[in-house]
Amino acid sequence: MKKYNKIKYKSVQDELDYIEKHSSKIPNRKKLFIEQLETRGWTDADTWSLDHSLAKWITPRLKRFKEVTNCSPSTLKEKQWNAILQKMIDAFEMISHDNYFMLTDKKKLKKVNAGLDLFRKYFMSLWW
């Protein structure tokens, strides 16, 4: 369990808390998830909403990348690159906080799609 405490996966912690509260109903799942965390660093719970899990994983890394990067694609100036990175970050933050807005808020959906398009377009430029 010590390895788990070093890993920052809120969805996994939520799942483990749920299992703890309902352990009589699902006795083997907690043990399985702890084993998965210790061996691979994530559990099957992360695959239940993989888009959400990936967004939560990508967001802090993109933020840090933006802070430490000292270069940009050759076709862009630093200010443009930072604006593009921020649009990507905003998109992944929206996805990681609330997936349901996509069904109701067309303005947010448009921003998310724009950020994801930029992520795809500049994926190979995400190196330091």
Residue 21 has a CB neighbour count (10 Å cut-off) of 9
If you average pLDDT over residues 18-34, what whole number do you get? 70
Q: Where are the domains of the chain?
A: 2-47, 50-125
Quote the CA–CA distance of 20 and 39 in Å, as a whole number. Answer: 21
Is residue 85 within 8 Å of residue 93, measured between CB atoms? no
pLDDT digits (tens, 9 = 90+) for 59-89: 999 999 999 998 899 999 999 999 999 999 9
pLDDT over threshold 50, residue 3: no
Is residue 66 within 8 Å of residue 88, measured between CB atoms? no
pTM of the model: 0.72
Quote the CA–CA distance of 110 and 13 in Å, as a whole number. Answer: 31
- H helices of 7-105, in order, are 10-21, 27-40, 50-68, 78-97, 101-104
23 — pLDDT class (breaks 50, 70, 90): low
Angle at which helix 106-122 crosses helix 78-97, to 10 degrees, equals 130
- pLDDT for 128 equals 67
- pLDDT for 21 equals 67
Quote the CA–CA distance of 53 and 99 in Å, as a whole number. Answer: 11
**Nearest to 10, CA basis, from 49, 38, 39, 63:** 49
